[in-house]
Amino acid sequence: MTVDEAWAVVRAFEQEKGSYLQWHSNTETGAGVTKTVFDGISGAADTTGQGLKASPFTAIAGDLVRGLSEGVSGLGETISGGIREINERRHLPLIAELEKQIAILEKAINDVKS
């Protein structure tokens, strides 16, 4: 392999690493959006439940809706956490391996050039 070919491989690895970093970032953003959506739904359900509790005729329904609110919030947290965990397990090792290979190639290139 020539030095030019080795640099081409380094550039390809860096481009691949950039793609994984972008994918990782997008997935993190998606996890945050998921949590925000579930928090919004939970807040709306909680407010609705409070409104229903104001009347003695709908107080039981208010308690049920407020209980649902807590469950929705917990579900959002679980889903968001799961997305983040899978994201870290999937992308971070690949990014680390590409960084390692880039460093090895760059060292080999510099050694040859010296």
pLDDT (0 to 100) of residue 114: 77
Integer CA distances (angstroms), 26 to 29, 52, 55, 63, in order: 5, 39, 45, 37
What is the percent of the chain with per-residue pLDDT over 90, rounded to a whole number? 75
Q: How many domains does the chain have?
A: 1
Is the pLDDT at 113 greater than 90? The verdict is: no
| Contact by Cβ (8 Å): 24, 87 | yes
What does pLDDT average to over the chain?
92
Residue 38 has pLDDT above 80, yes or no: yes
Q: What does the pLDDT read at residue 18?
A: 96
Domain assignment of residue 44, given as a range: 3-113
Mean pLDDT, residues 89-114: 93
